[in-house]
Amino acid sequence: MQGNGSSSAVTRNTLRQQIADALRDEVLAGRLQPGQEFTVKQIAEQYGVSATPVREALVDLSAQGLLDSDQHRGFKVHEFSVEDYRGMVEARALVVDGVLHHAQKRGITAVPGKALVSVRRRAEEAARAARAGDLDILIGYDLRFWRELCALVANRYICDFLHRLRVQTWVFAVPYLRGLRSDEELRQWLWSGHEELVDAVTAGDAEGVRAAVGAYDEHALAWADRLEQ
């Protein structure tokens, strides 16, 4: 009996994660819009599952700041403001600056090339997608790129925090980016410096790393300025 209960719990937790991942992808793809409302029952029917793992998945996404919950009306996709976005970028920059400072203090000036093989692959794909204006492909590779790169120099708590911020910035950005008038304008606002950053990390070029990360943050803040105007 105990074994069956344990197996059931594992299955439910796996389903919970799968539903949370699927809904996060729906938000990042722009298929679930900011402010859009839905209920546990609607999502359960959509995925053909019971209400319990759906409710748990929605609570998880609410804890990550992606959804708002209302006891009587269900859930809705959180609407981030430009001020929220600017705050996320600034918070991200401060944490990354601390990570880089700590890495230098510990004498980590270069990461072995072997450890960067996967990260470089993500960088190449992300940069290619950004230059092509392929938003769907870019988001996935960009998030994996930063998460893998972070894992080489920081602990998992910092990496989880930064990943959450990056998901939130993408959730904010997607509706605006999809609303741009042309592919050329879209490409203009997609950062594509992933490969330059990996090159600097590989070479142990601390100033080059800071410059690449700084350009990334400046690019994001410039876009915030444009939206405010």
What is the residue range of 96's domain? Answer: 82-228
User: Of 52, 77, 102, which one is at a domain's C-terminal end?
Assistant: 77
- Rounded to the nearest 10 degrees, what angle do helices 194-203 and 135-151 cross at? 20
Per cent of the chain over pLDDT 90 is 73
The Cα 92–Cα 11 span in angstroms is 35
pLDDT band at 10 (very low <50, low <70, confident <90, very high): very low
The rounded distance, in Å, linking the Cα atoms of 34 and 27 is 8
Q: Tell whether pTM > 0.85.
A: yes
Shared domain for 59 and 101, answered yes or no, is no
Beta strand segments in the chain, E: 37-38, 67-70, 74-77
CB 55 within 8 Å of CB 11: no
Which of 42, 77, 112 is the C-terminal boundary of a domain? 77
* 201: CB partners within 8 A, 6+ apart: 110, 111, 116, 149, 152, 209
CB < 8 Å & 24+ apart, contacts of 79-83: 79/34, 79/35, 80/34, 80/168, 80/171, 80/172, 82/224, 82/227, 82/228
Question: Are 115 and 202 found together in one domain?
Answer: yes
Asked if residue 168 lies in contact with residue 65, where contact means CB atoms within 8 angstroms, the answer is yes
Whether 53 and 149 share a structural domain: no
If one counts the domains in the chain, the total is 2
**96 shares its domain with 170:** yes
Same domain, 57 and 127: no
205 and 124 co-located in one domain: yes
Residues 97-149 have pLDDT tens digits of: 999 988 777 765 567 777 889 999 999 999 999 999 999 999 999 999 999 99
Among 44, 77, 110, where does a domain finish? Answer: 77
- Does 102 lie in the same domain as 15? no
3-state secondary structure of 37: strand
Both 50 and 115 in one domain: the answer is no
- Give the integer Cα–Cα distance in Å for 124 and 142: 10
The CATH number of residue 214's host domain is 1.20.120.530
- One domain, residues 177 and 221: yes
Contact indicator for 11, 56 with CB cutoff of 8 Å: no
Both 167 and 204 in a single domain? yes
Q: What is the CATH number of the domain that holds 65?
A: 1.10.10.10
Give residue-wise pLDDT tens across range 140-162: 999 999 999 999 888 999 999 99
